[in-house]
Structure 1
């Protein structure tokens, strides 16, 4: 990794921590700099504005998410869909940190209609994630594991469902039916894809 790449990676890590700690509404470049081991001027050297930084952050977040699903997870199509749902709905690691970060993401998404660059990147992220889901479904169909369904239509439903469950977890807090939602996604959206006889006992 080059020096610039290493610096950008450190800035992305600092942005993640600052978002989790402050939320999107109160996020400033200074708050990110406070989480960054180097100077604030170095952040400005790489990113012209907070908006520019947040677009880069969303792109980086997408890359990490897809790597987690495609490279760091199981090969089986069913398990890859389940892994994707788990990451988005339940999160990985510390529950409090996950909820704080999901809260920040929801705040960012709420501002998208008013910030065109942010909205454009979110649209691109959504398009690419739905593409990954559709490809997983196609693979499952080709391997005879999944029923023959429309991969793009399924991907739109799956993506909307897991993101909706994540938003409910943030909005409703401890009252959110997150475990029930995840179980429903597994049973009705994932296992229902399986060809008869392939389900788990």
Structure 2
């Protein structure tokens, strides 16, 4: 069962983060997480019955952080708002364990085709970014900053797919060189209304 005490929950989520970075998903055990929490495995099982349940809660925790971080700034031109939003999605805060966490989450994502609960939680990240991108693009079309033939829905699908691909490329190949520039070029060449480009 999940604990309702924020400090305890936060401690467990931090321990899960550290354990994932250290062991990866496949080798991760409840004992590993308990060790990082500096409590017994029995104490951890009091709050979460299974590794699966704990990792689902961890994804919920990451989602809350993601939605706090990945936002479009207010009071800026649509192009700048869109670039800032996508940059936030492309570049999570860097820590000493960033690469390890990305790799572990990549392993978690591999469970999605076989586990509906994992799939539903991962879909939330996609839907959140898709909706925010679509809204910014729609605002740009309405205000004339973007071309009037731009479709916000399909544009959001493309840009979110590029972000997801960049994450995968970064993990599997070690870098995502050129992705940010490709996104910027797409926005400037396909979205921005040439008549308003100087106002962006």
Bucket of the pairwise TM-score, normalised by the shorter protein = 0.7 to 0.9
Preserved CA contact (<8 Å) 2:70 2:85: yes
Q: How many pairs were matched up?
A: 194
- Listed as ranges, the matches of 1:1-201 within 5 Å are 4-70=5-71, 74-75=73-74, 76=76, 77-94=78-95, 97-148=97-148, 149-173=150-174, 176=175, 178-189=176-187, 192-196=190-194, 197-198=196-197
Q: Unaligned 5+ residue runs, structure 2? A: none
Give the Cα–Cα distance (whole angstroms) in 2 for the partners of residues 45 and 199 of structure 1: 60
Find the structure with the greater CA-based Rg: 2
Give the Cα–Cα distance (whole angstroms) in 1 for the partners of residues 171 and 60 of structure 2: 22
Preserved CA contact (<8 Å) 1:90 1:182: no
Q: Unaligned 5+ residue runs, structure 1? A: none
Preserved CA contact (<8 Å) 1:135 1:151: yes
Preserved CA contact (<8 Å) 2:82 2:136: yes
Give the Cα–Cα distance (whole angstroms) in 2 for the partners of residues 44 and 190 of structure 1: 52
TM-score normalised by L of structure 1: 0.81
- The more displaced of 102-111 and 34-43 is 34-43
Name the CA shift for 1:142/1:179 in 2 (closer, same or farther; >3 Å).
same
Give the Cα–Cα distance (whole angstroms) in 1 for the partners of residues 46 and 109 of structure 2: 26
Give the Cα–Cα distance (whole angstroms) in 2 for the partners of residues 144 and 100 of structure 1: 43
Greater relative contact order (CA < 8 Å, ≥ 6 in sequence): 1
Q: 1:185: Cα distance to partner?
A: 1.4
Q: Please give the root-mean-square deviation of Cα atoms over the aligned residues, in Å.
A: 2.7
TM-score normalised by L of structure 2: 0.81
